[in-house]
Each structure stands twice: as C-alpha cells, then as structure tokens.
Structure 1
C-alpha cells in the first residue's frame, strides 16, 4: 500500500514542476500600468514611440526595450534611450512613475530632451529604486537639480550625467557604493571644479571617472587624490603635459587612461609619471601635438594591451622595437606620425602577437616590410598606408594570419604582379591596394581565394587585361573600385563579352558601390544589374561605352549617384530615369545624347548636382534648377570602410569645373 502510494505521487510532482518552467510569463500588473503611463508621458502630446507597448497586452516582458527577471516577471532593465521625438520639445519626467519598479537594475534615458522632473502634487520625491545600479541620463537638458534626485538610489554604482546643463558649484551626492561616474561636458571651471574634484574623495569605491570635454586645467589635477582609480578619461580638455603626466603617475591602480585631443605637446616622459603605471592596460593619447621618439621606458608597461598614438608628431620605427617587451600588447594604432626605418633592423623578435596594427606615415617611409611582421600570426586588422615600403604584394601576411579581416596597403609603392596566397582565405572582408604600381592581370582565381570580400579597392595601379569572372562569385561584395587602370574587359568561354562591362556584376547581391571609371570598356551597358538590389553608387565615366542608356536597376530608388560622363552614349535620356527618386548626383556630360531634356528629370527632387553639358540636348533646365534645387553637400555613410573622395566635373558657361567631396565617410576610428 505504502509503495503504490509513493509511486503515484511522483508523476504529480513532475507535472507541477513542468508547469512552473513552461508557464507563459506575463508581468507584474503595477509595472505594466507604470510602463503605459511612462509611454504616454514620453509621447506627450502626440508622439508615436514604443508601438509594442499596448494596453490590452498583459505580456509586457515581451515588449520592446524591456528585460524582465525570468523567475519573478519583474522589470530589471529599461532601454529608453532616444525614444522621445525631438520635435515634441522638452520632456519633464514624473519620478513617481518609477516607484513600482522594485527590481530595476539598469535604466537608460539618454538622448531624450529631458529638461527636468515633475513633482507629485508639489511634493519633492526623489527616485526610490533601491536596487538600481546603472543610470544613464546623458545627452539631455538637465541642470544641477538632477543631483538631488539621486538621493534615494542606495545601490547606485554608475551614474552618467554627461552632456547636460550642469554648471557652477556642484554639490555631488550619492551613495558610498558609487564606483563609476561620468561627468563629461559639464560647465564647471576654476574653483568650482576644484571643489568638485575634492568632493570625489567621499566615494572610496570610485574606480571609473569620466571628465572629458570640460574646462579642466592641469593645475586643478593636484587636488585629485584618487588612488583606487582604474579608468580615467580626460579627453577633450586642455592639459599641461608635464603636470598631467606627473599627477597621473601617482594613480598606480590605473588600467585605462584616455587623453585624446588634450593639446598635449612636447615629448613623452622618459622616466617619472607615465612609465610608472605598470598596471596600465589601455593608453589613448590620439590627436595631440606630442613629438620625439618613443621613450625606452614604455617597456615598463608590461600590462599594456592597447596603445593608441595616432595623429601626433611622434617618430615611430617601422620595427616597433621600443615595444618588443610588451608581451600582452594586442592593438597598436600609430597612424599619422613619422614612420621611419631603423638603420640596423635587428633580428630580435617581439614578445607580442598583435591583433590590430595601423601605421601611416608623414615622413620618409620604411623602404621594406619590417622583419617583425614575419613573426605575427594573430593579425585581424592591418593598415600600412602611405608608407613607401616598396617590394611585392605580401601574400605571406595573409598566409601567416588566417584570422585577417582587413588589409590596407594604399600608396605604399608596391609593384610587380598581385600575388595570391597559397590557399583560400575566407575571413578577409576588406582589401585595399589602391595607389600602388602593380602590373599585369588581376589573377583569374581571385574570387575563389577571397570569397568573403565585402570591399575590394584596386584603383590607380597598372592592371591590364581582362576583369576575371570569378569576381562574380563574391556574393558579399559591397564595393568594387577598379578605376584608373588599363583593364579591357572579361575573359569568358564563348568570348562574346570581350571589352564590355561583364553582366555577372549583377550577380553580386550585396554590391553597393561600383567604380569602373577611367578604363577602356566599350560596347553597350549591361541591360540589368540583376540581384544588386543594394546598389547605390555607379561610376562608369571616361570609358568608350556606346549605344543607348538602356540599363535597368532592380531597386531604382536606392541609386544616389550615376556618372556616365565622357563616353559615347547616343539616343535620348530615358524616361525611366524618374524612378531614380533618391538621386543626388547625375552626370551625363560629354556624350552624344540628343532630344529634349525629359520632364521626368524635374521630378528628381533630391538632385544636388547635374551635368548634361556637351551633348545635343534641347530645352531649358537652368530656371528649374535655380528655383527648386538649393545646392548642399552630400555625405553617405558606410559602416566599415575607409573614406574616399569622389570628383565630378561639371560645366558652367563652357568652363569645366571640378566638384570634389567625400561620398563615403569612415566609421572605423583608426587614424
């Protein structure tokens, strides 16, 4: 009897456990109501943000920008950054709306035009989220009163109130748990700043301090006595080189130091100060006026992993020999300095294995690849632009570094044929070898050896012969620039396309930028660009292309620039051009087009530059252009490529003029 009873109970228990795990998770009703009130507040008077927050939906943990505790169903994270429509004006928050969120840990409210707080029936009520650890109120319009509202945040560790309207004397309040504080771009200076810095000593657990973009002067730092700091950001201030390095040298716990754009000048210290920070892992002194050689004492920074020295006037050896002792170094950015070759390029091997290396020179260059590069096997990002290295293409770099993702060798005086690695390299996504002296044909198998390329820049070389059809197999290719070479066409079986732009370019489904200008292409345009639905820029000028403009785009509305100038096109400007509704640049000059200027051109209301000169066209476009097209600069963003200048020639009163501007903006961060 007892045994059978025991057996019958077990399945029942298992069923209960199963229901507890798989039961659909709703959310706490009081928090759901508070969220809906919060939505109404940020949308007042007529905003439309957060459409997934619906009154009839009880599952608020599934709403956008919300994270809940999987056990209790309570909200733990609110991602409410940039949700307020700027056209609605300032937003005044009711702090009482946050009272129901008893388990909220992280709250993001940056960039919402928050100008202050609404008190409940005239009664001051601070935040009372006792578990909140992270509060981001940066990029708003708050004044000093925000400091009082943090009184009730007993667990707060990281407040960010940067880029607001704090000014004058700041009475900094907060719990002793405070470990991270961001006060970037606050209008505090002189004695008020000294008072602020002294008040920071009330927070014994403070390890991270951001004071960037202030009016901080080197003399003020003498009041800073924060021995436990691990991260210090002073970027965008005007600092005194000798004072700042001497003061920072006392902060022996520092792991990250950012002195970007601080107008530092002179030489890096050779003994005291900077070189005493043996726990330092990241050093950023980009965009200053520092000069001289790298001090030998940098070898003392044995914990260093990232070193950013770009955009100074430093003399950096191509061998990086002063850094050989830094076994943990992963990233070195030294571009826009004076890169030089040491007279005695020794055979010592560095202790480090770099993942990122960027060097570009303001000086004489290096004359050859440094020997230490032959010992690097973990490189993912390598840029050696504007260094007169000379020699052949370093295919061994690609072979040795199987994780290499981007390789920039622009303007390095490299010559000879373009040498493929011995085997396929699937990780390489960016390859730029523009402005060199490469000769011969582009290897026929290039597509098979670099199947993952997204950006391929080979302009301004001496490549001749045909464009290999294997480029068509690069399904991820977004930018292809083969301009300013002497290419003649494509080699293909049943060679009926010799000398023409290859039709397989349309198979590149990710292609966004195509530049085949200044070559010797002839024959008609490809009728259709096929699967290139992302294509935005097409530059085919200065070739020998003929026939009517009969091309067709899969998604015409994406095209922003079309340059077909300096060819031999005939016939009329096609009526389908009105489908290019987002066109910014249209250049059809120096052809043999005829007929009237089509009325469809008038409907392209995004045009900022058009050139129809040196054709046989009739009609009047000048009055329309002047009355409806204010000239403006155009900038198009790409997420992962270097900047490029595009020049357009246009004619006024029979005088050719050149418009030159950036059509692609870099977002890399290496300089």
Structure 2
C-alpha cells in the first residue's frame, strides 16, 4: 500500500478523521479529491507527508477563508494544482513562488480578490495553463506575465480586471492556444496584430462589459496572421471604431472557424456573405446589433454544419430567401429580428426540422404562415413572429397533439379566426402572446387549464363571452381591449400573479374577494368595464402594488383610507366613477420605489456548444455560444390620461410614471393641505370634475416634478397661489370653471405658456392672459430699500438736450475729419471720389436742362 502512486476519491463524503490514512502513502504522485465536502483544516497536516505529490485536484470542496500556501509550499515537485470552485477569499499569496514546478494552476470559481502580485505568481515560469476565471480579481495585468513563455491556456474571464492590455505582453506569449479575457473592465485599445506570430492560437475571446475597450484589427495595413482560429468572440469591443467600423480584414485568411461572434460592434458595411463562404465548418455566426445592410444572400453550397445564425438588429432589407431551408437544413437557431425585411414568409422554413428558435419579429414580413409550423410534432422552444404584417387563420384547425412551443409570440399582426377549443390536447406553452390581432370567438378552455402557461396576453382582439375557469397559475395575464363579459371569475388561481390586466371589457359585478390573495401583484387594471359596488378595503393589503387602474366603472361610496397603506404605488386612476366623500388626507403614496418592475426580460437557456473542444490538462473547454440565452422582453402597456388624451404607456416608462387621477367623480370637501408634501414625486394630478370646495393649497407648489395639474370644474374659491409659478416642469395647468377670484400670478416660467383657456369660467379672476384687467389698487408704500435709484428710474424722454446735440455734432465732425484725412493721404481714393462728384454734377445739370427746355415732355414721363 505504501507504494501507491495514484489515488482518486472524487465524489465521496470524507470526514476529517478518515483523512489520516493519506499519510500512509508517502510516494503518492496523483491525488484527486474533487467534490468530497472537504474543509481546508482536514488536509493541512496530511498533505505535508506526501513530498512526491505531482498532481493535486481539490476542485468543488468547501475550502473557505484566505488562500494559504503554507501547507503546499513543501511540494517542490507539484506540477498540477486545482483548487477551483471552492469558497476561497483574499489574494494570491507570494508564497506560491515556492511551487516553482507548477505547470497547471486553476483557482477558478472562488471569491479571490485584489490585484495579481508582481512577485510570486510571476516566478512560476513553467506555467502552461493558468485559469483564474470567475473571481473578483482587479487592477492591471502585471507586465511580468510576459515571462510565461510556455503558457498555452490563459483564462481570466469574469473578473474585474481593468486598465489597458499591453500589446507587448500579448505579443511575447507566442505559445498561446486558448485566450479568454471576457467580462472584465479593460479600457483602451488593443491591436489584434499582437497575435500575428501566434502560430498555435485557436481560441480568442474578448466580450467586453463596457464601452471603453476597443479592438483594432486594421493596423498595420496588410499584416498576415500565422494562426488559423477555430473560435473568435469579439462582442461589444468597438471593433475598428476609428477605422470606419469594418469587418476585420484578417478574417479573409481564416478558413477553419467554428464559432464567430462579432455582435454589438455596429459594424457598418454590406452583409459579409464571404464569412460563410470561406468557412465551410462554421457552426455559429453571431452578427447581431451591427449596421450591416443589403440583402440576405445564400452561400454557393449546402451548409450542413451551421447551427446558429443571428443577424438581428441590423439594416437588412429585401425578402428572406425562399430556399433558406435548403441551404441551412440543420439550423437550430435563426434570428433575423429587428431588420427591415419584407415579402412573404418563406415556406421552406417549415421544412427545417431541427429548428428550435425562430425569431423574425420586428420586420415587415407579410403573407400567411405555413400551417406545418403549428401542426407538426416540432421541438420548437421559441417562435416569435411578432410585429410584422402576417395574416391568416393560424390557431384553428388541426393543432398538434403535443404542441411543443415554450414561447409562442404572434402579437401585432393581422391574424384572424377562432382558436381551437380542444381540452384533450396537450400543450407545453410557457408564454403565449397573440395580442393586437383580429382573433375572435371565445377563449378556449385549455388556456386556463395549462399547468405550464404562466404568461398569457390576448389584448386587443375580438374575443367575447366569459373568461374560462381553470387551474393555471398565471404570472402575467392580459385580456384587456376585448368584449369579455360576465363577472370577473373568482375561480382563478391568482396567488402568484404579478400583472393582471382586465381593462376595457364588459365585466360586471363587484371585485371578487380572491383579489386579496394577490399579495405579489404589481399591476392591477380593471378600468373601462361595468363593475360596481364599493372599492374593497382589502386592496390596501396589496403591499407590492405599483399601478392601480379602476377608471370608468360604476364604483360608489368613499375612497377607503386603507388605500393609503399602498406605500409602493406610483399610478392610481379612479376617475370616471361615482365616488363620493372627501379625498383621504392620509395619502402618502408615490414614494418612488427603489426597484424597477417594468423593464423585465425573460431569459431562457438555449445554448449550443460547438463540436470544437479545446482539451486542457485538467479539463476540456467547449466553444459554448456566449449569447445562447434567449431574451424575451415583456412589453407592458397601461392606459392613462394626460392632457385630456388617453394613451398607452409602455414598458420601462412605467417605472418613472407618477400620477393620481380622481377626476369625474362626486368628491366633496377641500383638497387636503398635506397633499403637496405627500406626493413629492408625482407627475400628474387630476382632481377635475368633482365638487371640491375651499382654496387651492399653496403646498401644491412643492410638487417639483409636476407636469400636469387639473383642478377644473369644481367649486374652488380664493385666488390662484402665486407659489405655483415655481413649478418648473408643468406643461398643462387648468383651473377653469371654479369660483376663483383675484389677480392671476405673474406671467413667468412655465406659466407664460398658459392661455385664457386655463382660467375661463372664473368671472372674478383678472390679469394676463385674461382680457379682464385688474382694477387699480390704493397707493402702495414702497420700502426704502426697494426704491429704484435715479439712474434706474430715468426714462428715454428725460435726456439732456444740450448734451445730446453736442455729442451728435462732435461725432459728425470727427467723421468728416477722418474722411478728409483718408482722401488726403490716398490719391487713388481721392481721384475716385472726385469722379463720383463730377458724375453727379453732370447728372443734375442735364436734368435741369431737360426740365427747363421741355417741361411738357418731362411731366408726361
């Protein structure tokens, strides 16, 4: 047993007292204890008794605390050390220099931080693989890294390294095969020609997380690389920003690429079809968010290797080639969204049996969608055809028994027809959006009975009847802008709902008590219906509520004070009801919640790994697509009225909307005095068309962010507070049809933009901009400090006449003297002036001769 050289106990739970047997193997050269739930203290003593150890793998244990090398410093023969994916903290100690034989060092997946030491780590001159990714290292890369002449793998992604990457450092590491500097904070410019002499280089990954890093590939002009890359990721790297944002020209000499990512660089030129033509083994091509134009051209051959093609967010025009499915038969991922593509939907796409992700959204594609997309037993994860001009009857008829879509987005098109209502069929939908189309009929039962469906939007169609009961547990439910009727179903499971949109239908009855289970709801829209009864007090218990819209119903009674408990609410619309009583003085909403709720994106994992794999000493690295996550943004919409115009406000705008609309009710009493300081973040305040009395509170001037204030059609009295002119952003102001009196505030700031319409219906008001002028008042005593000086009060007609004419005469004399001096000193100008005088004299002379000799002819002219 003492002669054992190789010991592997991976995945076993080893207690500290069972580790003592390691000392019985002093000749051990290879020890692997990965994922054994070990603590550092359990090995501190045992490892010191194995001086012959060459390979030590301790990946995935529970080592914590600072990284210490005292227990390992005696391993002068250690060649491979793997401490990755533990809980180590602190910096790399300088004692690591004692392990001078190290060839492979992996500290990835810990919580190590600080700058890399100039002394210690750089003494490991035999290093061939250095893996520090997924830590918190920061600062610049040490220049002494240029000593790693044997380094093949250099992986430092997902850290906080900053500063400029020295081109001299890169150019000296000529043994490099694999380099990944992605997801750091590097700045400045890196010349890609630094890799020119790296004949073994196969993988280069730079994915920048800021806009301060640039990769220059065009200098020096005509440089030729010695490498043939397999993987190149240059995402968000401002590639050739100073050279016209062109595709790197060195890629024309690359013919072995498997994965190429040039996304988010705004490269501006025609679509580089040659990238596909030159690289017959290409599997992933990601060119999203650039400025490529022109049409999509198919390669001259059938590419059976390409798995992912993403050219979304460009300026592509024309039609999608009808034979795209023929040339790329094995595509898993096709994203052509956010371009200007037009023409009919290509029928060949329906024959691409391997397709998992298809995104053609935000284009101008027209025509009908092949029925085979919906009737075949397909492995679709995402089908996004939203925001196009497609039409046809797509969701009726013989739908697949195993409809394997996870995300089906057909919104904002012209689809018609009724949706098949066959509850016996099995659907695996997670998200269904068919909003803003022309679908009709009743909503099928399977929509509310699917256990997987969490997001459902059927907004703005022609659905009618009742909403079906079911077991579905929705996170997002939008059935607004339809013709649904009957009471709001009390049978729905709403305990997990975040956004509930039932507005603009024909729902009747009262608010069901099941609403009190919506403890996490953020948006509740039940406006524009025929609901009645009182506003239930339990709505005040929905502590996370941000938007509450109940406009244009038949609610009566008073506004419950429990609504004052909604400390996170930002938008409340109770307008157009029959609410009575006074405005609760306890309103303390609009507290500007710290988190954003309406700029949310759904991410779903659909990653592809290239067939290319880089084999390191310890593990292999597959070229996984870095943007394999599918991002699906939910576009929230709510209707709110500003400046008497009702319009939709969408997505992240809602995070910044602050409004309170209590208009068109029967509210009485005065405007609460504390409303100003309670609603400091509010943008819109509408209390019009009620029965409010009393004066306009001066505290309203504290609403510094107010854009609209409407107090019209009430019974308010008193004057318009002059303090309101301090509202810097107000764009709409209306106090018409009240009983206000007195002089209007001074015309200054935003108040200079309001005309008489803002004040009409108040006969006792006077002053600009009204035609009625205010009567003169009794003499006003001006404090001595405010009396203007004689110079300030001087009028234009109080000028001293003697001084005026004296200065005028002196000016003319100086002018004539200056003119005479010029004529005297410049003979050329003097001759020119005398010729002009002579010409004018002759003109006058002949004029007088004609007038005297032939006066009749002269007057006829």
**Shorter-chain-normalised TM-score: which range?**
0.7 to 0.9
Matching residue of 1:207: 178
Contact 1:287 1:310 in 2 (8 A): yes
Matching residue of 1:646: 636
Matching residue of 1:27: 15
How many angstroms does 1:316 deviate by? 5.7
Separation in 2, partners of 1:287, 1:245: 24
How many angstroms does 1:546 deviate by? 1.7
Could you say if the C-alpha distance between residues 575 and 361 of structure 1 is closer, same or farther in structure 2, counting changes exceeding 3 Å? Answer: closer
Contact 2:167 2:191 in 1 (8 A): no
Separation in 2, partners of 1:108, 1:211: 19
Matching residue of 2:763: none
Matching residue of 1:522: 485
1:599-614, aligned counterparts within 5 Å?
A: 599-614=561-576
Contact 1:356 1:381 in 2 (8 A): yes
Alignment partner of 2:362 out of 386, 392, 406: 386
Establish whether residue 187 from structure 1 lines up as the match of residue 162 from structure 2: yes
Alignment partner of 1:468 out of 438, 444, 453: 444
1:421-500, aligned counterparts within 5 Å?
A: 423-445=400-422, 451-489=427-465, 500=466
Alignment partner of 2:336 out of 343, 359, 362: 359
Separation in 1, partners of 2:594, 2:280: 54
Contact 1:321 1:350 in 2 (8 A): yes
Which of 1 and 2 has greater Rg? 2
Most deviating of 328-337 and 147-156: 147-156
Separation in 2, partners of 1:565, 1:214: 50
How many angstroms does 1:375 deviate by? 4.1
Separation in 2, partners of 1:63, 1:553: 50
Alignment partner of 1:512 out of 460, 470, 475: 475
Could you say if the C-alpha distance between residues 301 and 450 of structure 1 is closer, same or farther in structure 2, counting changes exceeding 3 Å? Answer: farther
Could you say if the C-alpha distance between residues 503 and 242 of structure 1 is closer, same or farther in structure 2, counting changes exceeding 3 Å? Answer: same
Separation in 1, partners of 2:490, 2:177: 65
Q: Classify the secondary structure of the residue corresponding to 1:275.
A: helix
Taking structure 1 as the reference length, the TM-score comes to 0.74
Contact 1:360 1:386 in 2 (8 A): yes
Could you say if the C-alpha distance between residues 144 and 369 of structure 1 is closer, same or farther in structure 2, counting changes exceeding 3 Å? Answer: same
Matching residue of 1:493: none
Alignment partner of 1:225 out of 176, 181, 197: 197
How many angstroms does 1:353 deviate by? 1.2
How many angstroms does 1:464 deviate by? 1.2
Separation in 2, partners of 1:605, 1:79: 45
Q: Classify the secondary structure of the residue corresponding to 2:538.
A: helix
Cα distance per residue 1:436-488 (max 9 Å; x no partner)? 1111212223x655610111110000111111123234220010100010110
Matching residue of 1:536: 498
Establish whether residue 308 from structure 1 lines up as the match of residue 298 from structure 2: no
Contact 2:192 2:216 in 1 (8 A): no
Q: CA RMSD in A?
A: 4.5
For structure 2, which runs of at least 5 residues remain unmatched after alignment?
1-8, 21-34, 48-55, 605-630, 656-861
Separation in 1, partners of 2:220, 2:513: 62
Separation in 1, partners of 2:485, 2:582: 29
Contact 1:586 1:607 in 2 (8 A): yes
Contact 1:407 1:432 in 2 (8 A): yes
1:618-657, aligned counterparts within 5 Å?
A: 618-621=581-584, 624-625=587-588, 628=591, 633-634=596-597, 635-636=599-600, 638-640=602-604, 642-650=632-640
Q: Classify the secondary structure of the residue corresponding to 1:522.
A: strand
Separation in 1, partners of 2:307, 2:602: 26
For structure 1, which runs of at least 5 residues remain unmatched after alignment?
1-20, 33-59, 84-90, 490-499, 666-671
Alignment length (residue pairs) = 579
Separation in 2, partners of 1:444, 1:244: 66
How many angstroms does 1:251 deviate by? 5.1
Could you say if the C-alpha distance between residues 322 and 524 of structure 1 is closer, same or farther in structure 2, counting changes exceeding 3 Å? Answer: same
Most deviating of 598-607 and 625-634: 625-634
How many angstroms does 1:321 deviate by? 0.7
Taking structure 2 as the reference length, the TM-score comes to 0.59
Alignment partner of 2:557 out of 575, 590, 595: 595
Establish whether residue 567 from structure 1 lines up as the match of residue 520 from structure 2: no
